[in-house]
Structure 1
Amino acid sequence: MVRTSETRDKVVEVALRLFRDEGFHATTMRRIADEAGVSLGNAYYYFAGKDELVHELYMVIQRDHRDRALRVLVDGGSLSDNLAAVLHSGVDVMAPYHAFGGTFLQLALPTRSSSSPFSEESSDARSMAIDLMRATLAASKQKVPASLNDSLPTLLWMIYLGVTLHWVTDSSENQVRTRTLIDGLVPVVAKAVRLVRLPVARGLVADVAGLMKRMTSEEGLRP
């Protein structure tokens, strides 16, 4: 008998493959259950519906992005090069799901959606993504004041979300416009990070990051 964790993982694996290959709307829970070799009731035991499986996709992408990005970070490299490598690796991980991106955006936009990057349910994925940005800063030779160790990773994650939004709507071949955006954006970000050593800029960054933290905290998510 297949262990519980293996059954759940199999359902997730099949669902994500079908979302990628056939699209979200064409994929049914019954089809997922059949291809995973479990009963429909068993599939629903693990996931209330396809929307919950979209949240699993978000987690899978974050894990894959972290694992791939950590391999390309260069200790002592420039922030511009390291951030570009991290953002490009994120696009690489998401690439097979581009056709599904619009649907994911529709599901993630509602404020109460568990798939929203700002939702309480997404806290683990969000922390993972912010920690990756923290690792990017730590690996880079361009250091920042210790007082901004929490603020800057959050802001870099917000920049990554903006790149992701552009990627979702990018109809250019192989999303080349998103690649161009990344290459043009990271030198600007690196220059801005250098400015945070100035007290006035440091305070502004802390204020913006504090707002982002409140938005993603449990208290800030309550109506």
Structure 2
Amino acid sequence: MAKSEETRSLIVATAMRLFSEKGYDRTTMRAIAGEAGVSVGNAYYYFSAKEQLIQGFYDELSHQHLTASRQALEGEPDFGTRLKTVLLTWLDVARPYHRFGTQFFVNAADPESPLSPFSVDSTAAREASIGLMREVIESSDVKLDQELREELPGLLWLYQMGIVLFWVHDRSPHTKRTRMLVERSVPLIARLVGLSRLRVLRPVSREITSLIRDLAKQD
């Protein structure tokens, strides 16, 4: 890893630790720079505002999730198992950051915020997650309508965003309710996806894909 990337990762890791220990609002860029052993100017060189550190965290979390998921998926052909593995792996990777997940969501929920999962700034993390969902489908044995196949990775990513929202608000021990949601909802989704190939349901799946494409065209 290049020195600049090492420094950037160090600043992000330090910020996440301080956010967890002191809270997001009480952590300053000066404190982050001091703990990371870099100058304040150097910290601002990589991140022009504290909010951008959260975007850096999203990117880092996305990379960790991608790496862990690919290892866990290797050799598994079943679509439902693959989807559940990806979602549970995300919960495992994100577990240390659950305490301040609410603060992240407050920022991300604003459609004008660069931290929104739909923003231009979030493009890399979003495309990586959708790409992972594409791998879930393409390397599985699932049979489905071809038109739905093209739109399904994006739909599964939206489903994952719903899981993340539930996780943010989940106060059960070790977020057991979120894990239960994954365990019980994935088989339903896998069943619906499998049914899409049936001729009698094909018009429904194609109407869904048509709606998605029309929504995507709106300004």
Calculate the TM-score normalised by the size of structure 1: 0.89
Structure 2 residues not aligned, in runs of 5+: none
2-structure distance, mates of 1:67, 1:50: 26
Residues 122-161 of structure 1 show CA distances to partners (whole Å, capped at 9, x for unaligned) of 1111100001111111222112233333300100101100
1:76 & 1:49 partners in 2: Cα distance? Answer: 42
Compute the RMSD of aligned alpha carbons. 1.9
The match for 2:196 is: 196
Contact 2:148-2:206 at 8 Å conserved across structures = no
Shift of residue 66, structure 1, vs aligned partner: 1.0
Q: Give deviations 1:85-108, integer Å, cap 9, x for gaps.
A: 111001111110001110000011
Look up the match of 2:212.
Answer: 209
| Cα contact 1:10–1:36 (8 A) shared by 2 | yes
The AA in structure 2 aligned to 1:202 is: S
Structure 1 unaligned residues grouped into runs of 5+:
none
Q: What is the distance in 1 between the residues matched to 2:168 and 2:215?
A: 22
Normalising by structure 2, what TM-score?
0.90
- Alignment-derived partner of residue 24 in structure 1: 24
2:138 is matched with which residue? 138
Name the aligned partner's letter for residue 28 of structure 1.
Answer: T
Q: For the Cα contact (< 8 Å) 1:87–1:182, is it kept in 2?
A: yes
Aligned pairs (5 A) from 1:122-161 = 122-161=122-161
The Cα shift of 1:208 comes to: 4.2
Further displaced range: 156-165 or 5-14 = 5-14
- Aligned length, in residue pairs: 215
Q: Partners in 2 of 1:177 and 1:152 — Cα distance? A: 25
Alignment identity in percent?
Answer: 38
Whole-Å separation in 2 of the counterparts to 1:151 and 1:21: 41
Q: Call closer, same or farther: CA 1:49–1:193 in 2, change over 3 Å.
A: same
3-state SS of the aligned residue for 2:187? helix
Distance change in 2, residues 1:26/1:164 (3 Å): same
Distance in 1 (CA, whole Å) between partners of 2:176 and 2:40 is: 40
